[in-house]
Structure 1
Amino acid sequence: MAHAIMLQGTGSDVGKTVLVAGLCRAARKRGLKVRPFKPQNMSNNAAVAAIPGEAGEGEIGRAQWLQALACGVEPTVHMNPVLLKPQSDIGSQIVVQGKVAGAAAARDYQALKGRLMDAVMDSWARVGEGADLVIVEGAGSPAEINLRARDIANMGFATRADVPVVLVGDIDRGGVIAALAGTHLILSEEDRRMVAGYIINKFRGDVSLFDDGIAAIGRFTGWRSFGTVPWLSEAARLPSEDSVVLERLAGGTARPLKVAVPMLPRIANFDDLDPLRAEPLVEVVFVPPGSRLPADAGLVVIPGSKSTIGDLAAFRQNGWDSDLIAHRRRGGRIVGLCGGYQMLGRRVGDPHGLEGGAATAEGLGHLDVETVMEPEKSVRNVHARSIHHDVPLTGYEIHLGRTEGADCLRPVVEIDGRADGATSPDGKVFGTYLHGLFGSDPFRARFLEEFGIVGGGADYRAGVEAALDAIADHLETHLDCDALFAAARSAGLDSPAASNIWQY
């Protein structure tokens, strides 16, 4: 088994995902064979990953896909063995080692954790095979001691796997000294012994001004500091994992093309819009509940959803259905992706209650298609081709449902030789199940030309790679990475391949 270190946060959204990705890239640059691991994730931004030893593919959190990219390896389902996909205010779909294992309310899920730990430890043994180092990301915070008894995401995993922990505190939100000192105070002695030190993240300004803060944390906790990380502007170029970031994307700088994206309650895979956000002449605005779709938008994109029928109801409650009609009358364009594609049709039926209860809902009616939810879930990476622009595409499918109707006679893409999607007779509205459509640089360039934008379609993937390199260099500058990676030795794990790499 490889050496390992785990990053846990004093709270959610403290920047663990980006730090793990950056450290993975930094370790790779040092010549280490490094892998990411997250025992339990909660996100509707999913990616498709290989199931080692099987022909099919499964789901993992988008963050672990990004971290695998940082490591320079193909993602597998063992990098994120438990994925929770929220589909209501109190319940989630449970994905175990890439496959849907059922759904449970939050209270019922707590009782399942004991059995899920077996899957976590099985994946843990597999993910480190052939690696020198595994960098683990926690979820939420170890300070949630009310959940400690059945924890599989933070200290429950760390103590079981004997992995040393580095705590991450977010100074940008304030109270970071209290967050770290308070975590130290309420952790049990067993959990406290797992902590090798801490990182201060998202600092703005002169780092030396926090020297007294570092000294205070040392007095309260006795923990060592691995460094203070200034605000990472490059993180904005990376795919987002959690819908919590959407609040920061509700506005932008005015540009020639405004793209409006309704912020659905169960929005999923909204990173489909990241390549458009990276375009210098495109403004992507995520429209929060209670706000209207902007009248000056040239394009409205309805993104994926984990609960199509529920989000359809929310769409109407916000008045976005009327806004969409007005948008189309003004000559605006509409694109639906996955669940958004289903919403654009005439009807969505869920006879098996796959989204929480048998129901049928009237669609938005902009495409002459109907969708029926079916038990078998499509999860796969695909190669495709844009029919209208005749350019290659790569992407993935993660969806329930079969969509048929007259507008399917004008498909959007061809996926592995199979037609997919539908287009309105006037060509102003289309929908497809293909995620990653805008990630194709040639397609994006041709698509933006239809809005009068010439010169788009820059290499988006290269931009992500460059951001990972920049973040890795940033962390090498501001963290004691030698000491941090060396702390992984205390995990008590042996890796013949790593016998000499810890000497710098």
Structure 2
Amino acid sequence: MKKVDSGQLKVDSENPDSSCQLSTVNCQLTLMVQGTTSDAGKSTVVAALCRWLARQGVAVAPFKPQNMALNSAVTEDGGEIGRSTALQALACGLAPHSDMNPVLLKPQSDRGAQVIVRGQVLGNMDAIAYHDYKNTAREAVLAAWRDLSARYPVIIAEGAGSPAEINLRENDIANMGFAEAVDCPVILVADIDRGGVFAQLVGTLELLCESERNRVVGFVINRFRGDPALLQSGLDWLEQRTGKPVLGVLPYLHGLLLDAEDAVADAGEHAGEALNVVVPVFPRISNHNDLDPLRLHPGIALHLVGPGQTPPPADWVILPGSKHTRADLQWLREQGWEPYLQRHLRYGGRLLGICGGFQMLGRAIHDPDGIEGRPGSSDGLGLLDMETTLVAGKQLRQVEARLLPGGEAVSGYEIHNGVTAGPALQRPLFDVGGRLDGAVSDDGQVMGGYLHGLFDRAGVCDGLLQPPQESTTDYEQHRQAALERLADAIETHLDASFLRGYSRHPGNA
């Protein structure tokens, strides 16, 4: 790898004031991380850069112009953004804010999505309608970036998918369209673990226009396993072929578990005695980060069951969140889960529903206004005496609650449209500051509620699920340790002059 010429980056580490030429917003510096493919590692590289810069005392914030994901988080200003961006805010030591992810698309079908702009639901659009809306969305993106830039001198932005998706280039706001609009440099990340890494990088460059190619200042190769010396000849060829530096080769970090945008991580293996927890993976599963603490729990064996798979015997079944509750309930029935759940309960198993999964437990789900899809009603599983009506006006709040009746503290959040009513709610699962949430059946086998993140505190997991051994893992500490591990990898494997140029930016501590 050759050293980075600070002139390529428009950042001179010996004269950091030169970085002001990148933007006229308070001498602000934006760097964008784009990827050759989805899941190339953009989110983790952004999180790593954010944590490394924060460790240097840099006032840095993450930014993702447009995201498409079903995992979301509630922000301090009462909005909704992608979960991965919220994790990057944590890496910066910041509370998540809606300015950090001004456009969030939550798929509801193969052709349509709920559109969230600056934290609030705009409505549902199909792909063609959203394409026509992009010019308006661009203004929201640039306004959010300007507002964020006024508060933080360094912004690490993340692209979406690949900048070489030709069919999406017109009116692009997610990748090069944003980079061109704010005139920021771009680093390109490729995943060598997938294979074909040199084709990914060279092919992506070839599909960009000249001005876009010129703003790519270097490459990062992600998830490398083995001896780096074996890769050197390829790196030399790549730099000669493109005239651009390889900024670093990041190692494959085994066992890294951090908030995902959409991909459902493997459950992992557990040796010895364990509580068996089974989860159906809905086609529109949302906020499945709720399950991450269970993956880490030494006393829990988590089984994720996809389409066509036979669910194993379970101590607990958890019905997770859903972005299209009625459609996912229909999928559940088509996959044969209803008789499985009846048999599970008949033999003493227990069942928990979270948000959309909680709504499925009732007698019916009504969607008279077509909030999630075609208007209509669906019969629920009939396991709790309640009904849910989907209404406009999404509930978005961060909450502190207590688990009933044990009293364990819960720190979670709500993201839902449904209003649930019925006698079952007279036996609640949570006390949310005096407001009761959820329901528990008379025999205690079936329960649920609207709170996401309920397992983040180990005491709740142990108190509710009662595994054979208690957890020794603090999930929040685990996330912080994983972010430190990412920052260490960046510090060790990324070009030092590149990092120095950003850490010496004027206005930083």
TM range (shorter): over 0.9
**Counterpart selection for 2:65 from 24, 27, 39:** 39
Q: Is 1:319 matched with 2:366?
A: no
Distance (whole Å) between structure 2 residues aligned to residue 61 and residue 173 of structure 1: 25
| Contact 1:250 1:288 (C-alpha < 8 Å) held by counterparts | no
Change (3 A) 1:25 1:177: same
Q: Is 1:471 matched with 2:473?
A: no
Change (3 A) 1:93 1:78: same
Deviation at 1:436, TM superposition (A): 1.2
The amino acid that maps onto 2:451 is L
SS in 2 for 1:445: helix
| Contact 2:298 2:470 (C-alpha < 8 Å) held by counterparts | no
Distance (whole Å) between structure 2 residues aligned to residue 97 and residue 414 of structure 1: 30
| Contact 2:53 2:503 (C-alpha < 8 Å) held by counterparts | no
- Equivalent residue number for residue 507 of structure 2: 497
Q: Is 1:205 matched with 2:226?
A: yes
TM-score (norm 2): 0.92
Change (3 A) 1:198 1:102: same
- Equivalent residue number for residue 287 of structure 2: 269
Change (3 A) 1:356 1:368: same
Change (3 A) 1:67 1:413: same
Distance (whole Å) between structure 1 residues aligned to residue 256 and residue 29 of structure 2: 27
Q: Is 1:408 matched with 2:425?
A: yes
- Equivalent residue number for residue 368 of structure 1: 385
Distance (whole Å) between structure 1 residues aligned to residue 94 and residue 143 of structure 2: 20
Deviation at 1:388, TM superposition (A): 1.4
Following superposition of structure 1 onto structure 2, how do residues 341-360 of structure 1 map, counting pairs within 5 Å? 341-360=358-377
SS in 1 for 2:304: strand
| Contact 2:189 2:222 (C-alpha < 8 Å) held by counterparts | yes
Distance (whole Å) between structure 2 residues aligned to residue 160 and residue 484 of structure 1: 24
- Equivalent residue number for residue 109 of structure 1: 130
**Counterpart selection for 1:6 from 11, 26, 32:** 32
Following superposition of structure 1 onto structure 2, how do residues 294-333 of structure 1 map, counting pairs within 5 Å? 294-295=312-313, 297-333=314-350
**Counterpart selection for 2:308 from 272, 276, 290:** 290
Q: Is 1:458 matched with 2:477?
A: no
- Equivalent residue number for residue 6 of structure 2: none
Listed as ranges, the gaps of 5+ residues in structure 1 are 52-56, 490-494
- Equivalent residue number for residue 410 of structure 2: 393
Q: Is 1:91 matched with 2:109?
A: no
Q: Which string of whole-angstrom CA distances, capped at 9 and with x for unpartnered residues, describes residues 321-370 of structure 1?
A: 12111211221111100000001111111111111211110111221211
**Counterpart selection for 1:436 from 453, 456, 460:** 453
Distance (whole Å) between structure 2 residues aligned to residue 234 and residue 161 of structure 1: 36
TM-score (norm 1): 0.93
Deviation at 1:35, TM superposition (A): 0.4
| Contact 1:226 1:484 (C-alpha < 8 Å) held by counterparts | no
Listed as ranges, the gaps of 5+ residues in structure 2 are 1-24
Q: Which string of whole-angstrom CA distances, capped at 9 and with x for unpartnered residues, describes residues 234-280 of structure 1?
A: 532x12221x3x2x526644551121110101100000111111112
Distance (whole Å) between structure 2 residues aligned to residue 41 and residue 64 of structure 1: 9
**Counterpart selection for 2:175 from 147, 154, 162:** 154
The amino acid that maps onto 1:212 is S
Distance (whole Å) between structure 1 residues aligned to residue 497 and residue 80 of structure 2: 33
SS in 1 for 2:162: coil
- Equivalent residue number for residue 261 of structure 2: 241
RMSD: 1.6
The amino acid that maps onto 1:43 is A
| Contact 1:37 1:137 (C-alpha < 8 Å) held by counterparts | yes
Distance (whole Å) between structure 1 residues aligned to residue 161 and residue 503 of structure 2: 22
Deviation at 1:78, TM superposition (A): 0.2
- Equivalent residue number for residue 424 of structure 1: 441
Change (3 A) 1:69 1:136: same
**Counterpart selection for 1:63 from 64, 74, 84:** 84
Stretch deviating more after TM superposition (401-410 or 136-145): 401-410
Distance (whole Å) between structure 1 residues aligned to residue 140 and residue 152 of structure 2: 20
Change (3 A) 1:476 1:488: closer
**Counterpart selection for 1:19 from 39, 45, 70:** 45
Change (3 A) 1:189 1:114: same
